[in-house]
Amino acid sequence: MARKNTNELYSTHTSLLMRLLHGSKRYFLLGILFAWLTSLLDLVNPRIISFTVDSVIGTAVPSLPHIFESLVNKLGGVDALRLHIGYIAILVILIAVISGLMRYTFRMMNAKGQEVMLQSTRDLLYGHILSLPLTWHNKNHTGDIIQRCTSDVDVIRSFLAEQLTALIRMAVQILLSLYFMIGISPAMTGMVALFIPVIVLFSYFFHVRIEASFQKVDEMEGQLSAVAQENLTGVRVVRAFGRESYERARFEKKNDEYTGLWDYLMKLLSLFWATGDAISGLQTLLILIVGANFCLSGRITVGGYIAFLSYSAMLNGPVRQLGRVISGMSRAGVSIDRIRYILNSAPEHETEEATDADMSGDIVFDHVTFRYEKPEKEDGDEKAADDVPVLDDVSMVLRAGQVTGILGSTGSGKSTLMYLLCRLYDLPEGQGEIRIGERRLPSIPRDCVRKQVGIVLQEPYLFSKTLGENIAITRKDASQTEIERAARTAVLDETITRFSKGYETFVGERGVTLSGGQKQRTAIAQTLIRKTPIMILDDSLSAVDAQTDARIRAELNREEGHATRILISHRINSLMHADHIIVLDKGKVVEEGTHDELYALNGLYRKICDLQSPEGVQA
């Protein structure tokens, strides 16, 4: 069946957050519910203390909500409480215990929600990144992608689990505190309320500046990660060319810039927090002075004054934290944008009519023209002089079941032909077409194409696994016999037997413990074990000696004689026995034929033959 493009566009922060919360939303909602209940219970105790001071210890007429008044009457009224004041202490302790249990449940739900969210977000990002086309990966640094998938995801987790939950909890606590405070003294509550918009506006003023600073910090962190990742991956090259000082200086320069941005951001945040604390302190001082005067003048009771101070302190905390939450939201907004960039990038997709097909027919390149995407030019720049097609009107036929050799200088388009055949890149409309048998290549799904085309790339990549696991990595169901047979065809078996652990030899990151020729032969064995109808060897014998090269080709003829094989090489000796040889130059087919036919033409092929062997190379 044809695959549909299932890419979702996340146009707003909210739409992305809703997607990231899929599967964890219920935990966060339960956490918010218990956070509300915790806040409500925390606000009850000051009212109980106020009642105790004014009406139980003092003689003021009790003024309680109906639910509390009914409870007091059941206990025998205020006179009974004076005789058994321990009941009040027990009630305060009981409320504190229930509040503690609620707080524990809130934190449990919050922790569960963030872990589920982290798991689903990682799965979503990793799966989407794997579905993105090669052109996207070519334009984005690996270090920056990793930084987005780690640091930025953690920032979003922190926002959802801490800042957002705290914001909702603070909103409830502020509203309930104001409600209880109005019942004690509307005038003092008005004074407190005047400070709230001041802090909110002050926070918004810093919000814009903090968000821009976080954007720069995250971008620089991605660049720093990219430099570190490149140098750690290529540490052997750095050492071999004595570039340690240069690369260290390059890293330190980026690190200095990164540290400078953080230093500026910390100064901005310190000013923000310190000023916010000063405003909150001023509010507290004002309430202490005015409240004491009101208490002395009889406008509020002593118990009311104590309760009001408690509510003011409860209100003061959330209002002071509001600024911190807003700064956290600023950073989360930046991280959400960076995650959205990945998830909004269009993955590879198929046309509605794409269906599976047998790829054992002839391969036809019909007037194929292709150029790679160039980086965007600055305004006013002239078109680059080298902006020419990698392939220019290439037409050729690769016969099914035959060995086709492709020869050409560096940059002539040899590898590009194979990338197009594997659908790692797609031809733009009007730039020719590629057919296999009677089917146009775009009408065959990519996964079908890649299952039937085995390619050994110029630079083989081995994983940090054993030799046997690396050979079998392209087939989950490969038996040990099949692994050994593929290794034998790739002339790797003799090398493996010399290792003390044989097929259990650990090759290290990128196959660091193997030589270039051993890595190439391991990559060939990976392809051979798949038994594909089309096999491409893209200059994959360049690191082996001529004798081993000949042995591998002989084994391939014996084991894979039915497959359509494409040999790309700079060596005439590797290509001269091919059924058909195609010579490329500057993206064009300039010669084709058998070895003898091309040698007799006295053209580019003959010139390369004479350069590699002054006496000439004859079949």
User: Which residues share a beta bridge with 535?
Assistant: 454, 565
| 399-402, long-range: CB < 8 A, 24+ apart | 399/362, 399/564, 399/579, 399/580, 400/360, 400/361, 400/362, 400/363, 400/564, 401/360, 401/561, 401/562, 401/563, 401/564, 402/564, 402/565, 402/578, 402/579, 402/580
Do residues 45 and 147 share a domain? yes
**Residue at 490 is within a domain:** yes
Q: Range of 394's domain? A: 363-372+388-612
Q: Mean pLDDT, to the nearest integer, of 249-264?
A: 88
Residue 221 and residue 331 in contact, taking contact as beta carbons nearer than 8 Å: no
The pLDDT-based confidence of 62 (bands split at 50, 70, 90) is: low
Do residues 337 and 367 share a domain? no
Do residues 20 and 100 share a domain? yes
For residue 153, the 8-state DSSP code is: H
The pLDDT-based confidence of 581 (bands split at 50, 70, 90) is: very high
In the chain, the number of structural domains is: 2
**Residue at 348 is within a domain:** no
Give the highest mean pLDDT range of 86-95, 158-167, 302-311, 485-494: 485-494
For residue 449, the SS3 value is helix
Does residue 536 carry a pLDDT above 60? yes
Per-residue pLDDT at 148: 87
Report the alpha-carbon distance of residue 413 to residue 314 in Å, rounded: 70
Report the alpha-carbon distance of residue 336 to residue 351 in Å, rounded: 31
**Residue at 355 is within a domain:** no
Does residue 111 carry a pLDDT above 70? yes
Do residues 334 and 367 share a domain? no
Q: Mean pLDDT, to the nearest integer, of 407-418?
A: 87
- pLDDT tens-digit series, residues 413-466: 888 999 899 998 888 888 999 999 889 998 999 889 988 898 888 788 888 888
The pLDDT-based confidence of 3 (bands split at 50, 70, 90) is: very low
Per-residue pLDDT at 436: 92
Do residues 336 and 368 share a domain? no
Does residue 500 carry a pLDDT above 50? yes
**Residue at 617 is within a domain:** no
The pLDDT-based confidence of 77 (bands split at 50, 70, 90) is: low
> 348 vs 1, 369, 401, 424, 449, CA distance in Å?
16, 21, 30, 10, 13
The pLDDT-based confidence of 65 (bands split at 50, 70, 90) is: low
Per-residue pLDDT at 4: 39
Give the highest mean pLDDT range of 379-388, 416-425, 500-509, 559-568: 416-425
Per-residue pLDDT at 375: 53
Q: DSSP E strands: which ranges in 168-281?
A: none
Per-residue pLDDT at 556: 80
Q: pTM to 2 decimals?
A: 0.71
Q: Mean pLDDT, to the nearest integer, of 490-499?
A: 86
The pLDDT-based confidence of 618 (bands split at 50, 70, 90) is: very low
**Residue at 383 is within a domain:** no
Per-residue pLDDT at 366: 93
Do residues 456 and 577 share a domain? yes
* Length of the chain as a residue count: 619
> 615 vs 189, 366, 610, CA distance in Å?
102, 37, 7
Do residues 336 and 440 share a domain? no
Do residues 540 and 463 share a domain? yes
- pLDDT tens-digit series, residues 550-576: 888 888 887 776 889 999 888 888 888
The pLDDT-based confidence of 293 (bands split at 50, 70, 90) is: confident
Do residues 505 and 367 share a domain? yes
Do residues 403 and 258 share a domain? no
Q: Mean pLDDT, to the nearest integer, of 268-290?
A: 80
**Residue at 334 is within a domain:** yes
* DSSP calls for 52-71: IIIIIIS-PPP---HHHHHH
pLDDT higher at 378 or 576: 576
Does residue 396 carry a pLDDT above 90? yes
Of the chain, the percentage scoring pLDDT greater than 90 comes to 11
**Residue at 10 is within a domain:** no
Does residue 64 carry a pLDDT above 70? no
Report the alpha-carbon distance of residue 188 to residue 195 in Å, rounded: 12
* Average predicted confidence (pLDDT) for the chain: 81
Do residues 311 and 439 share a domain? no
Per-residue pLDDT at 380: 43
What is the helix (H) or strand (E) element at residue 455, kind and residue range?
Answer: strand 453-456
Residue whose token pair is 């003294």: 185
pLDDT higher at 341 or 180: 341
Cβ count near 256 (within 10 Å): 10
Do residues 325 and 394 share a domain? no
Report the alpha-carbon distance of residue 144 to residue 358 in Å, rounded: 40
What the block records as the tokens of 216 is 């720069």
Does residue 6 carry a pLDDT above 50? no
Give the highest mean pLDDT range of 433-442, 491-500, 513-522, 552-561: 433-442
Given strand 588-593, what is the order of strands in its sheet?
453-456, 534-538, 564-568, 403-408, 580-585, 588-593
**Residue at 512 is within a domain:** yes
Q: Mean pLDDT, to the nearest integer, of 173-181?
A: 80
- pLDDT tens-digit series, residues 82-109: 777 777 788 888 888 998 899 899 889 9
What the block records as the tokens of 444 is 């065959």
Q: What is the CATH number of the domain that holds 125?
A: 1.20.1560.10
Q: What is the CATH number of the domain that holds 469?
A: 3.40.50.300
Per-residue pLDDT at 584: 92
Per-residue pLDDT at 78: 66
Per-residue pLDDT at 47: 74
Q: Mean pLDDT, to the nearest integer, of 580-609?
A: 91
